[in-house]
Amino acid sequence: MTRSNETDVLVIGAGAGGAAVSKRLSDDGIKVICLEQGDWLHPLDHPHLYDGWELERIRSWDWHSNVRQFPEDYPTTGNAAPMMMNGVGGSTLHYAGAWPRFKPVDFRKGTEHGVEGTIDWPISYEDLEPFYAINDAEIGVARRVGDPGNPPRPEGWGPASRGGKIGNKMGAGFNKLGWHWWPADNAILTREKDTRLSCNDCGFCLGGCPRGSIASTDVTYWPKAIRNGVDLRTNARVEKVNVKNGKATGATYIDRLTGERHEITAKIVVMAANAIGTPRLLLMSAQPGHPDGLANSNGLVGRHLMFHSWSFEDFWFDEPLDGFKGPEPAVSYSQQFYDTNTDRGFVNGFSLQVGTALGPANSALGTNTGNTAPWGPGHRKFFNDHFARHALVYVQGEDLPVATNRVTLETDIVDSSGLPVPHVHYELHENDRRLIEWGRARALEAAHAAGTVIDTASTGIGGVDGPPPGWHIMGTCRMGNTPEDSVTNKWNQTWDVPNLFITDASSLPTGAAVNPTSTLQAVAVRAAEYIKRRFPEIVGQKVTPSNTDAPGF
């Protein structure tokens, strides 16, 4: 028996974007091979049943691959700590599952202000909305409809995650101020779906989910894609995307189990290796005719990296708040200050996202902000006053796409297969600093409106003594309007190589002020639908069509 190395579509990466593309294409019988450098995770690979579960978060489940150092990981250099996971599910294996949508204004930031590298998206919210809805149904979103701060959204698979004492307390505070707020949409089941269990409010979302409640793609898209016949190859680390006569012909990968190299040939190649991995691989794929890397004739591959601008604000109240229960990262959000108001001295805006804490060890060790319980005689009182009386408010700001924030190749350091690793450089723009500073004061205002605050602590701008958390990695191969302003056209088709697509968060031209996975996955579903409907035309194209000339649906 043999396994064919020829396919219609080759997908690189089995995370949020790659899984969505693989499943949607294979729904209509398109032959797909997907290459993933990691492996499957077992439910008992999660730490939720272990007594050291809180410690594992800085060890086997650390978000940063440089800390985790798994064989399937690749290190990064530079001044940032991009948080990524390698495996079937990609970074959805440890993501929050917070599921907001971008707002209509987010697709028109070029029109609104155009600061630094900001451009309009080549599509509108209305263009993307049907694919948000398709994707929501696939993953089983938990939602309460009726949010007056966003366009109407369809009913969820289940109701919104429970808010608990924290949600109700902060909600009352927002109401007192007359500010917008709403229960968070979450990619967390509140009703069973397929073989996935509904959430039991265990409070530890950012270590993945052994119940399959959180919509990581290993439990959402992949079982269906594999039933469709997708050939998902794990431990398959791509070394190079191959091109001949201006068209992608496939990719060469290293089987990490055997060390052998294999070549896949494909009519279309889809990159979905995340906003660090995709530009890394494109830059690694320099070859005759593409001396600076694939799809990089304009030098934009790797540029305009966005992480969101952040501050974490911890507030402790004078009453129990059950912070160890419920959806850890996103109970609710206020988007009162989402839109640009230049009277504040900056463009763009932010969400105030309400979250929880973890267990007693995390509380003793400073919760999210380094407010650590003292050792010695003062320990007991500090702990007893703080534990489970806490609410977290994330100030999550939209950061500008800045050309010098970028991913490049580090030539001197290699991964375990000998491939060059990415160098990641990121500096917060002064606009984004001002935005977060202003937002921190609003978070404090909301906490005081909610109740009696007995203690506060903050990471300040950009995290504790470092760059912002790099868990939303976006923009490094953005879709756009012309070959001068972007890497792909509005169908995620690279301007330089017509049968090479990019469908991860690197394709997002702006990052909005919300968690990006629902949007990147909607974009991936839309691109897959386009490939599906226009497969013969795309395969026959010798030049990538402009947004106007592309055949569309």
Partner 1 sequence: MDIAIGPRPPRNAEADPRSKFRAGKPPIGGWLPGLAFTPTQTVVLNTIVDHLIPGGDGFPAPSEVNVVAFFGKYLPPDGQEPRWFPFIGEVEFKGRLDALGEDFNGADPTDQIETLQLMEQRDPVFFHRLRDLTYYAYYSRPPVIAAINKNLEAGKDLRNSPQPYGYSDTMDDWNDQLFNNVQGSYTRTEDVRPVELPDALRGTRNNHKVEGGLSV
Helical (H) or strand (E) element with 111 = helix 109-112
Span interacting with partner 1, options 81-89, 222-230, 305-313, 480-488, rule CB under 8 A: 480-488
Q: Least distance (Å) from partner 1 to the CB of residue 412?
A: 21
Q: Does 164 bind partner 1 (CB under 8 A)?
A: yes
Q: Which of residues 486-545 bind partner 1 (CB under 8 A)?
A: none
Span interacting with partner 1, options 148-156, 273-281, 287-295, 437-445, rule CB under 8 A: 148-156
From 95, 179, 222, 438, residue interacting with partner 1 (rule: CB under 8 A) = 179
Q: Which of residues 235-254 bind partner 1 (CB under 8 A)?
A: 235
Q: Least distance (Å) from partner 1 to the CB of residue 159?
A: 9
Q: Which of residues 272-311 bind partner 1 (CB under 8 A)?
A: none
Q: Does 452 bind partner 1 (CB under 8 A)?
A: no
- Residue whose C-alpha is closest to residue 426's, from 1, 76, 26: 76
What is the rounded CA–CA span in Å between residue 359 and residue 346?
37
From 74, 99, 131, 182, residue interacting with partner 1 (rule: CB under 8 A) = 182
Q: Least distance (Å) from partner 1 to the CB of residue 391?
A: 12
Q: Which of residues 118-147 bind partner 1 (CB under 8 A)?
A: 118-120, 122, 124-126, 144, 146-147
Helical (H) or strand (E) element with 457 = strand 453-458
Q: Which residues contact 377 (CB under 8 A, 6 or more apart)?
A: none
| Count of residues touching partner 1 (by CB under 8 A) | 125
User: Residue 473, exposed/middle/buried by CB under 10 A (0-12, 13-18, 19+)?
Assistant: buried
Q: Which of residues 41-70 bind partner 1 (CB under 8 A)?
A: 45, 47-56, 58-60, 67, 69-70
- Which x/- pattern, by CB under 8 A, does the window 63-102 give for partner 1? ----x-xxxx------------------------------
From 112, 192, 410, 455, residue interacting with partner 1 (rule: CB under 8 A) = 112
Q: Does 382 bind partner 1 (CB under 8 A)?
A: no
Q: How far apart, in Å, are the Cα atoms of 37 and each of 14, 73, 227, 260, 327? A: 9, 8, 21, 13, 30
- Residue whose C-alpha is closest to residue 352's, from 337, 369, 368: 337
What is the rounded CA–CA span in Å between residue 541 and residue 552?
14
Q: Is the dihedral of CA 540, 221, 225, 276 positive or negative?
A: positive
Q: Does 27 bind partner 1 (CB under 8 A)?
A: no
CB nearer partner 1, residue 105 or residue 286: 105
From 75, 108, 286, 370, residue interacting with partner 1 (rule: CB under 8 A) = 108
Q: Which of residues 319-338 bind partner 1 (CB under 8 A)?
A: 319-322, 324-326, 335-336, 338
Q: Least distance (Å) from partner 1 to the CB of residue 52?
A: 6
From 97, 167, 279, 467, residue interacting with partner 1 (rule: CB under 8 A) = 167
Q: Does 113 bind partner 1 (CB under 8 A)?
A: yes
- Which three-class secondary structure state does DSSP give residue 65? helix
**Cβ–Cβ under 8 Å, residues 397 and 308:** yes
What is the rounded CA–CA span in Å between residue 465 and residue 459?
8
Q: Least distance (Å) from partner 1 to the CB of residue 311?
A: 20
CB nearer partner 1, residue 17 or residue 397: 397
From 27, 77, 133, 168, residue interacting with partner 1 (rule: CB under 8 A) = 168
The residue whose two tokens read 């599910």 is 89
Q: Least distance (Å) from partner 1 to the CB of residue 515?
A: 17
Q: Does 345 bind partner 1 (CB under 8 A)?
A: yes
From 257, 441, 464, 543, residue interacting with partner 1 (rule: CB under 8 A) = 257
Q: Least distance (Å) from partner 1 to the CB of residue 440?
A: 19
**Cβ–Cβ under 8 Å, residues 488 and 526:** no
Q: Does 1 bind partner 1 (CB under 8 A)?
A: yes
Structure-block tokens of residue 175: 């109401």
Q: Does 448 bind partner 1 (CB under 8 A)?
A: no
Q: At CA 241, angle to CA 240 and CA 247, rounded to 5? A: 150
CB nearer partner 1, residue 5 or residue 287: 5
CB nearer partner 1, residue 227 or residue 379: 379
Span interacting with partner 1, options 76-84, 241-249, 363-371, 407-415, rule CB under 8 A: 363-371
Q: How far apart, in Å, are the Cα atoms of 81 and each of 186, 385, 463, 497? A: 25, 33, 11, 31
Q: Which residues contact 490 (CB under 8 A, 6 or more apart)?
A: 122, 123, 479, 480, 481, 547, 550
Q: What does DSSP say about strands 247-255 and 261-271: parallel, antiparallel, or unpaired?
A: antiparallel
What is the rounded CA–CA span in Å between residue 142 and residue 15?
21
Q: How far apart, in Å, are the Cα atoms of 194 and each of 139, 217, 219, 289, 449? A: 10, 13, 9, 47, 42
Q: Which residues contact 244 (CB under 8 A, 6 or more apart)?
A: none
Q: Does 425 bind partner 1 (CB under 8 A)?
A: no
From 23, 31, 94, 211, residue interacting with partner 1 (rule: CB under 8 A) = 211
Q: Does 365 bind partner 1 (CB under 8 A)?
A: yes
Q: Does 404 bind partner 1 (CB under 8 A)?
A: no
